[in-house]
Amino acid sequence: MKICITNTFFPPWRGGAETYTYNLARNLALLGHDVEVLCANDPGSPGKRTVEGVKVHRLRSRGRIYGVPIVPKLPYELAKINADILHANFPNPYSASIASLTSLLRGIPSVLTWHNDLPPFTLTASIIVYIHDNLVAPIYLRNFKRIISTSESYAETSKTLRRYREKVVVIPNGVDTERFNPKIDGSKIRARHNLEGSKVIMFVGALTRWHRYKGLDILIKAFLEIQRRTNQARLLIVGDGDLKSEYEASCCLSIKEKVTFAGNVDDEELPSYYAASEVLVLPSIDRSEGFGLTLLEANATGKPVVASNIGGIPSVVTDGVNGILIPPRDEKTLAQTIVNLLKDEDRLHKMGVNGRRIAEAHEWKHIAKKTEELYREVVEDSQDEAGHN
């Protein structure tokens, strides 16, 4: 099967949708499919190259609107693409709408993965989101044969997905359980950042205004109370972006030396960072958190998680089993939960073991197989429809 996937970016750009696209495409290629990915060139240069059996075509971007790169050549490239099925990814209204139009004009069946709703993080953004969700999205969503939601909870709570429930299929995100595993040694990372003998609380995410909903500011406020109650605690922040200086400035003198901003780390080293921690924390404040791939990555490494009970997170974290769910925007409860967990090594270990078991059920090869089955169903349905016309 010839498969064309469009996404905003592709690794080494780090993001949930990028991780999804890379792993899905790679595993579909391993299943014997001809897979091509179209994306914006950032952070590399435009051009074509093959990555682990996947043809990646990076197209030059010309500025951004609402954080979304505008790629003028995308309609042209999709107009000549030779594919049995198109697979677009949201939140990127631009590429999703272009893929939808291509599907309609060329008769190529298409599916869309709805990773999360657009985040209304400012008044202007709220207006844009309203216009998109109520006026624009209905125009292009109608052409997709199926819409993939990465969790049942998100499919049920998203206002947009509820409108198209008859075509929504739940296929969760996956994780590479070989790359992320409990046998990884995190001692080098601990030594590099002077974390020996510490209880390490880890956060992984982009430090940009588009990702403010991940709640790092809430975690930093909570850490002020955490370090008062246990001087062994250290906060390790992995990620970078335009808000980094703002987050650094919010760390008062009493915690400044106990908070480490590691910046962006190489993909090869990321598993070792998880291994160097006791717990991963994802204190998201908005339902724009559609899944939280870092939760699965931490669990696959044998680490428990603490995360907000919001968006798609409850589909990944079972409270008390592989992690703990806490109310969003509640730094006091967050601090208390983390302190209690750090003091209970048996519970840390038990939830880490449970997390590994849950992560194994989300191995990417299983997710790719489910997606392949959906593709075949969509292609067959489209052929049947064509035969009746």
Question: 145-149, 154-158, 167-171, 199-203 — which is least confidently predicted?
Answer: 154-158
**Residue 13: band (very low, low, confident or very high) from pLDDT cuts 50, 70, 90:** confident
Q: Does the residue 66 lie in any domain?
A: yes
Range list of β-strands (E), 99-192: 110-114, 146-149, 168-170
- Whether residues 245 and 234 share a domain: the answer is yes
Three-state SS annotation for 319-335 = ECCCEEEECCCCHHHHH
Phi then psi for residue 117, to 5 deg, are: -70, 160
Per residue in 82-110, pLDDT (tens digit) is 999 999 999 899 999 999 999 999 999 99
Q: How many CB atoms lie within 10 A of CB 93?
A: 18
Q: In the predicted model, is pLDDT for residue 315 greater than 70?
A: yes
Q: In the predicted model, is pLDDT for residue 290 greater than 80?
A: no
Residue range of the domain that includes 28: 2-174+363-388
- Whether residues 238 and 288 share a domain: the answer is yes
Q: Are 310 and 293 in contact (CB under 8 A)?
A: no
Nearest C-alpha neighbor of 85 from the set 4, 27, 23: 4
Q: In the predicted model, is pLDDT for residue 385 greater than 80?
A: no
- pLDDT in the model for residue 344: 95
Task: Give the chain's mean pLDDT.
Answer: 93
Per residue in 325-357, pLDDT (tens digit) is 999 999 999 999 999 999 999 999 999 999 999
- Whether residues 58 and 6 share a domain: the answer is yes
Please report the DSSP string for 68-119 in residue order.
Answer: EEP-TTHHHHHHH---SEEEEEES-HHHHHHHHHHHHHH---EEEEE--PPP
- Whether residues 334 and 372 share a domain: the answer is no
- Whether residues 167 and 51 share a domain: the answer is yes
Per residue in 199-209, pLDDT (tens digit) is 999 999 989 88
**Separation of CA 1 from chain center:** 26
Q: How many CB atoms lie within 10 A of CB 131?
A: 11
- Whether residues 333 and 372 share a domain: the answer is no
Higher pLDDT among residues 153 and 259, named by residue? 259
Nearest C-alpha neighbor of 96 from the set 27, 160, 23, 186: 160
Q: Does the residue 179 lie in any domain?
A: no
Number of structural domains in the chain: 2
Q: Name every residue whose Cβ is closer than 8 Å to that of residue 34 and which is 6 or more positions away in sequence.
A: 1, 2, 3, 55
**Residue 120: band (very low, low, confident or very high) from pLDDT cuts 50, 70, 90:** confident
- Whether residues 262 and 383 share a domain: the answer is no
Q: Are 31 and 12 in contact (CB under 8 A)?
A: no
Percentage of the chain beyond pLDDT 90 is: 79
- Whether residues 159 and 208 share a domain: the answer is no
Q: Does the residue 130 lie in any domain?
A: yes
**Residue 182: band (very low, low, confident or very high) from pLDDT cuts 50, 70, 90:** very high
Q: In the predicted model, is pLDDT for residue 121 greater than 90?
A: no
| Mean pLDDT of the region 152-165 | 91
Length in residues, the chain = 389
Q: Does the residue 47 lie in any domain?
A: yes
- pLDDT in the model for residue 119: 77
Per residue in 254-286, pLDDT (tens digit) is 888 999 999 999 889 999 999 999 999 999 998
Range list of β-strands (E), the chain: 2-6, 34-40, 47-51, 54-59, 64-65, 68-69, 85-90, 110-114, 146-149, 168-170, 199-204, 233-238, 259-263, 279-282, 305-308, 323-326
- pLDDT in the model for residue 388: 64
- Whether residues 65 and 140 share a domain: the answer is yes
Rounded CA separation 336/146 (Å): 42
Per residue in 19-48, pLDDT (tens digit) is 999 999 999 999 999 999 999 998 889 999
Instruction: Provide the token pair at 209.
Output: 């205004």
| Mean pLDDT of the region 222-232 | 94
- pLDDT in the model for residue 80: 94
Percentage of the chain beyond pLDDT 70 is: 99
CATH of residue 151's domain is 3.40.50.2000
Does residue 231 sit in helix, strand or coil? coil
Question: 48-57, 116-125, 227-236 — which is least confidently predicted?
Answer: 116-125
**Residue 389: band (very low, low, confident or very high) from pLDDT cuts 50, 70, 90:** low
How many Cα atoms occupy the beta-carbon half-sphere of 255 within 13 Å?
Answer: 25
- Whether residues 139 and 201 share a domain: the answer is no
Rounded CA separation 85/261 (Å): 42
Q: Does the residue 315 lie in any domain?
A: yes
- Whether residues 101 and 154 share a domain: the answer is yes
- pLDDT in the model for residue 328: 96
- pLDDT in the model for residue 126: 86
Q: Does the residue 97 lie in any domain?
A: yes
- pLDDT in the model for residue 287: 82
- pLDDT in the model for residue 311: 87
pTM comes to 0.88
- pLDDT in the model for residue 288: 77
**Residue 386: band (very low, low, confident or very high) from pLDDT cuts 50, 70, 90:** confident
